[in-house]
Structure 1
Amino acid sequence: MKSYIIGIDQSTQGTKLLLFDEAGKICYKNAKVHAQHIDERGWVEHDPEEIWENVKALVKEAVQAMELDGREIRAIGISNQRETAMAWNRETGKPVYPAIVWQCARGAAICEAIWGRGLAQNIADITGLPLSPYFSAAKLAWILQNVDGVNELMQAGKLCMGTIDSWLVYRMTKGQVFATDFSNASRTQLFDIHQLKWSEEAAGAFGIDTSALAEVMDSDGTYGATDFDGILASYVPIRAVFGDSHAALFGQGCQKPGMAKATYGTGSSVMMNIGKEPIRSEHGLATSLAWSISGEASYVLEGNINYTGAVITWLKDNLQLISSPAETEALAKGANPQDRSYFVPAFTGLGAPYWESDATGLYTGITRLTGKKEMVRAALDSIAYQIRDVVSIMEQESGHSLAALRVDGGPTKNGYLMQFQTDMLGCPVEVPDAAELSAIGVAYAAGIAIGIYDAATIFDQMERKSFRPDMPEARRDELLKGWQAAIRQTIHAVYDGCERINPY
């Protein structure tokens, strides 16, 4: 009988399922999108039940397509959109409110109130995260403050609060397991990254009882078993849970200090492995757990960017400048090199390293030279500029000069963007031959955990295309100077000339 590993990547736009064979090769993949509920305030939500039904449908289709009965499936790994937060009734298993997506800044007032009480520094020291509505805590606090009956459920011990991974594990195990891993826990702004446990102080600041939070387990722990509500003929162990960016770091083989990756998704996570001890960032980066494998925790520095791949979607769906993301490469290459326009994609605020949740998007430097091609190029360039800003601070604070940046995600297929990225960084950018690094990461971790894959060799089979810098340094410096001016202009608009006070 053949052996297979399922890798599930539950991301912002949809859910992917990949099937891996005994050699770690992808032998099947499929995906389903789910609805993005966005209102006039910019609030972003997902339906957790829709996500769960999509997971089951993907498993059923995989079993049918591969003619499996389920006994050949040896283990399951799950990666998930991380800071997206939700709450559900512990007894009924029903969500009390839709999942609030990581992009949603509705918790800004909650963070401002905590900052006003003088607690921001303590929270940052404990959790490694700058106080921000980006993270899960403020979203969960918003649910407690705004949804009738939820506080009463928490006080009665009948509330589960967590991230999407803990929801899926709960549903997959029919409510028997309520657990999350160290990587996801460290992104909630409720977890003590030094003591490796939920922080009563941080949770108390947000009005959250830690008894409503999931058990925190190793990323390669045993999270129960599932038959996906009878779709499989037997129960299969869930043997890996990672946040999606952490899973991609693991899948990229970045397991030594100083190695880094960037995931180009709806937004971007730029993440550097910093080893067994945390490093405190003074410039807006987050310190998180990379993972905990077999009881040993590793740390990362990370910068989170709200809008990267979503900028391309905006060009297509909102501006209708393109009909397909594939068009952007040729348009950008054909843009007038004398054009000096810049685009800052702060649709719902700026993430790392600026953390301006009230910022809005800005096109600047527009002249008569600026047309469709130039606007598309400025949008693509904004992705590379944002990632370069984060990498620059990461190198400074970690003491590691980046030998190469390993990248993944749909936009990495864009040759113009990858070349511009390496030119802005001044170091090679390496694109793997496989795109689904988050699913690869959790599948490999699950396979290693049950002994199917060899941790020393499984990552060696990945091939990479390398982009290398060829832009003159003076040209790069000129472009970066213009980008920083655009960022200053964006931030100045938030404060309207007042002294800048950033509570986050």
Structure 2
Amino acid sequence: MDELGSDKERNAYPMGSGLGRGGGVEGTYAERLDTRCLLPRIFKVGHSFVGSIDQGTTSSRFLIFNEIGEVVASHQLEFTQIYPQPGWHEHDPLEIVESVEKCIDGAVASFQAKGHRIDAKAVGITNQRETTVVWNKETGKPLYNGIVWTDTRTQALVRKLKEHDGHEKLQSLCGLPLSTYPSVGKLLWLIENVPRVRDAYDNRTLAFGTIDTWLIYRLNGATARNVFVTDPSNASRNMFMNIHTLQYDSALLDFFHLNPIQVYLPAIIHSSDPSRFGSLATTSLAITPITGCLGDQSAALVGQKGFTAGQAKNTYGTGCFLLYNVGSDPVISTHNLLTTVAFDFQGQDNFQFIGDSSQISALAETVEDNGGCVFVTAFSGLFAPYWIDDARGTILGITTYTKRGHIARATLEATCFQTKAILDSMERDSGHKLKELAVDGGMCNSELAMQTQADIICIPVNRPIMRETTALGAAIAAGLAVGVWSSVQDVEHINTEGRTTFAPTMTKDKAESIMFALWERAVNLSRGWTN
């Protein structure tokens, strides 16, 4: 078949974790199938603007913000979701790039129609993580569709890897356990099963990248400039990078039998850099430098200004992702969580972190409780902290009394229960007691969901008035690189007005001994459905 189509300084380590797949509100994967979008978001600082591209799982957007974090203009496009077989999920890499470019032009046109003048100093990028793209480094053309982070085709391959000597040492090096989640399994599958990918590997023309690398490469003009880089927040999700050195590790590559001479790996650079990400080659922002790059969940943590150990954020979208700042040194989890890089800002503190939601919320509000129903939304298995790859979506406790509202309420509660499971593990690993949970994402629009979350975790939940924190984080990374802001302290005032705090109203005994205990029982009953 032919190819497809037309110096770190200071690091910070959050303990990161997407919730187990199946915690979503829209009946999708709930671990990370959030709508990660491409959005060059633009921040006004005086007469300067900073853009931010946020590439998502289902759509691409470009938003423009003013200096206090208000959205001034935006543009969004959905792109094709490809499901060749059950459990397989793919994207057309070229369609993703095209959608980003159209969103940039659309948002700028909207912004200018309102009488504003664009003077963009820089653009930042935030993106869906783990999604794997391979291309021919000589032609710049993709060799296969991108394999999306939700894809589970590597399940058998991962189980074989777990039989190899030394697999138990991997997490201490890269922060991740073996699962279908990281990029490594997707790359190995492509080399083993797609002849043109294998040929490129054998001929030393195979380029590998996650969506950030692919976008930066193509937006710079592909082979014309050959800008081939990534940042630690994205590289820490592929299992090739040492979590302590922030560089590729020969022991990890050797374990996976990958020869770095045969596969072209992107250079790992600071998340905020004034020159090494290149610049836009086309669109209405052509020649604007790209100066910041963060994986979407890390960007959301930055957007929430989670710069201090013991702070955490949870993003509720089509999926749900909780990141907890454990400080400036990596903490390798002993409670089944992931350790990953939040960001690596040169000269700044860096941390390693580990249907429509409104309709579901309205339906859930028609009943007083879940009516005895528990919904384990494990549509593609459960990830952290359970790591049950043969679990599937399971609804328990249905009786003749059960109404649609009870199922809707159980769906919302599933995300909240998974959040609690993650938080409990994070607190045990980090030694820090969380005092408050910052939240964002579509589901946090639900007053019921946020109150339920506060009740189940028994701590306050803090919701900002402007919830586009993922793109805000990418713009902050870009702005720091070019001096729009001189330090993280300069952005502390952004998006602080109008926050809503949800205080717990349930007793801790009821939250833990009754509700959460029932959830844990249901999780155990969801095992074994794919064997």
Say yes or no: TM over 0.5.
yes
Query: How far 1:122 moved relative to its partner?
Result: 2.0
Counterpart of 1:62 in 2: which secondary structure?
helix
The residue number in structure 1 matching 2:510 is 475
Instruction: Please point out which of 108, 112, 115 is paired with 1:67.
Output: 112
Query: How far 1:298 moved relative to its partner?
Result: 3.5
Counterpart of 1:377 in 2: which secondary structure?
helix
Instruction: Please point out which of 245, 257, 264 is paired with 1:195.
Output: 245
Counterpart of 1:358 in 2: which secondary structure?
coil
The residue number in structure 2 matching 1:236 is 288
The residue number in structure 1 matching 2:270 is 218
Query: How far 1:301 moved relative to its partner?
Result: 4.3
- How far apart, in 2, do the equivalents of 1:210 and 1:392 lie? 38
Query: How far 1:59 moved relative to its partner?
Result: 1.3
| Contact 2:64-2:111 at 8 Å conserved across structures | no
Residue 96 of structure 2 corresponds to residue 51 of structure 1: yes
The residue number in structure 2 matching 1:391 is 423
The residue number in structure 2 matching 1:319 is none
The residue number in structure 2 matching 1:290 is 342
The residue number in structure 2 matching 1:498 is none
**Cα deviations by residue, 1:260-298 (Å, 9 ceiling, x for unpaired):** 111112322211111221111112101111111116673
| Contact 2:436-2:459 at 8 Å conserved across structures | yes
The residue number in structure 1 matching 2:525 is 489
Query: How far 1:338 moved relative to its partner?
Result: 7.0
* Pair 1:70–1:34, CA change in 2 (3 A): farther
The residue number in structure 1 matching 2:4 is none
Counterpart of 2:420 in 1: which secondary structure?
helix
Q: Kindly provide the amino acid, as one letter, of the partner of residue 190 in structure 1.
A: F
The residue number in structure 2 matching 1:364 is 396
Q: Kindly provide the amino acid, as one letter, of the partner of residue 429 in structure 1.
A: V
Counterpart of 1:262 in 2: which secondary structure?
strand
Query: How far 1:42 moved relative to its partner?
Result: 1.6
| Contact 1:56-1:228 at 8 Å conserved across structures | no
Query: How far 1:8 moved relative to its partner?
Result: 1.1
User: Which segment drifts farther, 180-189 or 267-276?
Assistant: 267-276
RMSD (Å), alpha carbons: 2.0
| Contact 2:105-2:283 at 8 Å conserved across structures | no
Query: How far 1:351 moved relative to its partner?
Result: 0.9
Q: Map of 1:443-482 to 2, 5 A cutoff?
A: 443-454=475-486, 455-462=488-495, 463=497, 464-476=499-511, 477-482=513-518
Q: Kindly provide the amino acid, as one letter, of the partner of residue 185 in structure 1.
A: A
- How far apart, in 2, do the equivalents of 1:297 and 1:458 lie? 14
Counterpart of 1:210 in 2: which secondary structure?
coil
Query: How far 1:62 moved relative to its partner?
Result: 2.3
Counterpart of 1:5 in 2: which secondary structure?
strand
The residue number in structure 2 matching 1:127 is 174
Instruction: Please point out which of 362, 366, 386 is paired with 1:354.
Output: 386
Q: Kindly provide the amino acid, as one letter, of the partner of residue 289 in structure 2.
A: P
Unaligned runs of 5+ in 2: 1-45
Query: How far 1:230 moved relative to its partner?
Result: 5.0
**Cα deviations by residue, 1:288-338 (Å, 9 ceiling, x for unpaired):** 111111166734343xxxxxxxxxxxxx3xxxxxxx432222321222537
Counterpart of 2:187 in 1: which secondary structure?
helix
Query: How far 1:156 moved relative to its partner?
Result: 2.8
Greater RCO (CA < 8 Å, at least 6 residues apart): 2
- How far apart, in 2, do the equivalents of 1:424 and 1:155 lie? 53
- How far apart, in 2, do the equivalents of 1:327 and 1:60 lie? 32
Q: Kindly provide the amino acid, as one letter, of the partner of residue 57 in structure 1.
A: K
* Pair 1:295–1:113, CA change in 2 (3 A): farther
User: Which segment drifts farther, 190-199 or 421-430?
Assistant: 190-199
Instruction: Please point out which of 317, 323, 326 is paired with 1:274.
Output: 326
The residue number in structure 2 matching 1:309 is none
Query: How far 1:450 moved relative to its partner?
Result: 1.0
The residue number in structure 2 matching 1:141 is 188
- How far apart, in 1, do the equivalents of 2:353 and 2:221 lie? 35
Counterpart of 2:331 in 1: which secondary structure?
coil
Instruction: Please point out which of 75, 79, 93 is paired with 1:30.
Output: 75
* Pair 1:117–1:224, CA change in 2 (3 A): closer
* Pair 1:230–1:279, CA change in 2 (3 A): closer
The residue number in structure 2 matching 1:342 is 374
Q: Kindly provide the amino acid, as one letter, of the partner of residue 427 in structure 1.
A: I
- How far apart, in 1, do the equivalents of 2:306 and 2:385 lie? 22
Counterpart of 2:369 in 1: which secondary structure?
coil
**Cα deviations by residue, 1:452-478 (Å, 9 ceiling, x for unpaired):** 235323232323211110012332121
| Contact 1:173-1:225 at 8 Å conserved across structures | yes
Counterpart of 2:268 in 1: which secondary structure?
strand
Q: Map of 1:316-331 to 2, 5 A cutoff?
A: 316=355, 324-331=356-363
- How far apart, in 2, do the equivalents of 1:329 and 1:75 lie? 38
The residue number in structure 1 matching 2:232 is 182
Instruction: Please point out which of 473, 476, 480 is paired with 1:441.
Output: 473
| Contact 1:3-1:22 at 8 Å conserved across structures | no
**Cα deviations by residue, 1:117-164 (Å, 9 ceiling, x for unpaired):** 123212112111011111111011111111112123123331110100
Query: How far 1:206 moved relative to its partner?
Result: 2.6
- How far apart, in 1, do the equivalents of 2:516 and 2:236 lie? 32
Q: Kindly provide the amino acid, as one letter, of the partner of residue 260 in structure 1.
A: A
| Contact 2:75-2:103 at 8 Å conserved across structures | yes
Query: How far 1:26 moved relative to its partner?
Result: 3.0
- How far apart, in 2, do the equivalents of 1:281 and 1:46 lie? 32
Query: How far 1:448 moved relative to its partner?
Result: 2.1
The residue number in structure 2 matching 1:115 is 162
| Contact 2:125-2:212 at 8 Å conserved across structures | yes
Unaligned runs of 5+ in 1: 303-315, 317-323, 496-504
The residue number in structure 2 matching 1:96 is 143
User: Which segment drifts farther, 105-114 or 288-297?
Assistant: 288-297
Query: How far 1:6 moved relative to its partner?
Result: 1.0
The residue number in structure 1 matching 2:62 is 17
Instruction: Please point out which of 312, 317, 324 is paired with 1:265.
Output: 317
- How far apart, in 2, do the equivalents of 1:424 and 1:379 lie? 14
Counterpart of 1:12 in 2: which secondary structure?
coil
- How far apart, in 1, do the equivalents of 2:343 and 2:468 lie? 19
Query: How far 1:494 moved relative to its partner?
Result: 6.1
- How far apart, in 2, do the equivalents of 1:183 and 1:338 lie? 38
- How far apart, in 2, do the equivalents of 1:377 and 1:387 lie? 16
Q: Kindly provide the amino acid, as one letter, of the partner of residue 160 in structure 2.
A: A
**Cα deviations by residue, 1:397-439 (Å, 9 ceiling, x for unpaired):** 1111101011110000011110000001110111111121110
Query: How far 1:71 moved relative to its partner?
Result: 6.6
Counterpart of 2:343 in 1: which secondary structure?
strand
Counterpart of 2:489 in 1: which secondary structure?
coil
Residue 153 of structure 2 corresponds to residue 106 of structure 1: yes
The residue number in structure 2 matching 1:431 is 463
The normalised TM-score by structure 2 is 0.85
- How far apart, in 2, do the equivalents of 1:342 and 1:241 lie? 39
- How far apart, in 2, do the equivalents of 1:235 and 1:298 lie? 28
